[in-house]
Amino acid sequence: MTERVTISLAEGVADVRFNRPEKLNTLDQAQFEAIVAAIDRLSAMEGLRCVVLSGEGRGFCAGIDLESIGGNDALSDLARRSHGEANLFQQAALGWRNLPVPVIAAVHGYAFGGGFQIMLGADMRIATPDAQLSMMEARWGLAPDMAGFVLLRGLVRDDLARELTYTARRMSGEEAARIGVVTRTAEDPHAEAMALAHTIARHSGEAIRADKRLFNLAARASEATVLLAESHEQQRLLASEGHRAALAQGR
C-alpha cells in the first residue's frame, strides 16, 4: 500500500503530506491511523523545529470518506479516550496543536469537515485565495467532533463560528483570511509555508517550544497560571545553550 502520510525532514523542517490524492485525501480508518502515527513519529523526532502540513493532489483534505462510515466498529464508542483526553479521530486534528513545535498548514483545493478541523489544529494556516473551506458536518446530519469546537474557539467571533457550523456553508480562502480562520492567503501556500517554517527554524528550538507551550496554556488557563508559567519558562531559557548562542551571535 502507498504510504498514506509522507514525512521528509530537512534543516529542522518536516514536510508532511497527506498522500491519498485519488480520494482527495479523504479520511477513512486507515487514513486516521496514518495521521495519528505521523503525529507520534514527529513527537519523537530529534532536531525537529517546525512542521509544514499539506495534501497531495487537488486538495488538502475533503473530509470524511463517507463510504468508510458504515460498519466502522471504531465509531461505536466515541466516548472512549484512546489518546489522553481525545479519541483517535479527535487526535488526528488536536494532535497537531499538541505537537511541541509549530505547525503550518498549507491549504489548497478543499478543506471540508474533518479536513477543516485538521487544518484548525495547525498553529498557522496559509491558503490559496480560491481554496474551498467548510465546517461541513451539518450537511450530513453530524456535529464537528474532531476537536472542532476546541480548535475554532478563539480564532473567530462566537457568532461567526456558530454561523459556519450551523449553515455548513463553503467559504473561499480569501474570506477565511478576512474573518480569521486562516492566517493569510498565497498563490503557492506550500512554498510560503516552507519559507515561514525555515525562518522559525533559525531561532532557538528551546525558545520556540516554550512559546508553543505558553500559547497552548494561555488558551485554557487562568491569568495567574499563565503568568507563573511564563516565569518558569523564561528561567529555564535564561540558563539554556540556545540563549547563550543567540547572545553570542548578536541576535
DSSP string, 202-246: TS-HHHHHHHHHHHHHHTTS-HHHHHHHHHHHHHHHHTSHHHHHH
pLDDT tens digit at each of 251 positions of the chain:
479 999 999 999 999 999 999 999 999 999 999 999 999 999 999 999 999 999 999 999 999 998 876 666 666 677 786 777 889 999 999 999 999 999 999 999 999 999 999 999 999 999 999 999 999 999 999 999 999 999 999 899 999 999 999 999 999 999 999 999 999 999 999 999 999 999 999 999 999 999 999 999 999 999 999 999 999 999 999 998 877 777 777 65
CA distances from 106 to 23, 118, 210 (A): 18, 12, 24
Find, among 170, 150, 26, the residue nearest to 98 by Cα. Answer: 150
Contacts of 99 (CB under 8 A, 6+ apart): 39, 42, 43, 51
Give the integer Cα–Cα distance in Å for 102 and 10.
Answer: 15
Domain boundaries, the chain: 5-201, 205-248
> Which grid cell sits at 28?
477513512
Which pLDDT belongs to residue 84?
79
Find, among 151, 157, 125, the residue nearest to 51 by Cα. Answer: 125
Give the integer Cα–Cα distance in Å for 229 and 220.
Answer: 13
Give the integer Cα–Cα distance in Å for 73 and 34.
Answer: 17
Find, among 60, 133, 53, the residue nearest to 96 by Cα. Answer: 53
Give the integer Cα–Cα distance in Å for 251 and 248.
Answer: 8
Residue type, 152: L
Strand order in the sheet with 110-112: 110-112, 132-134, 171-172
**CATH class for domain 5-201?**
alpha beta
> Which grid cell sits at 88?
483517535
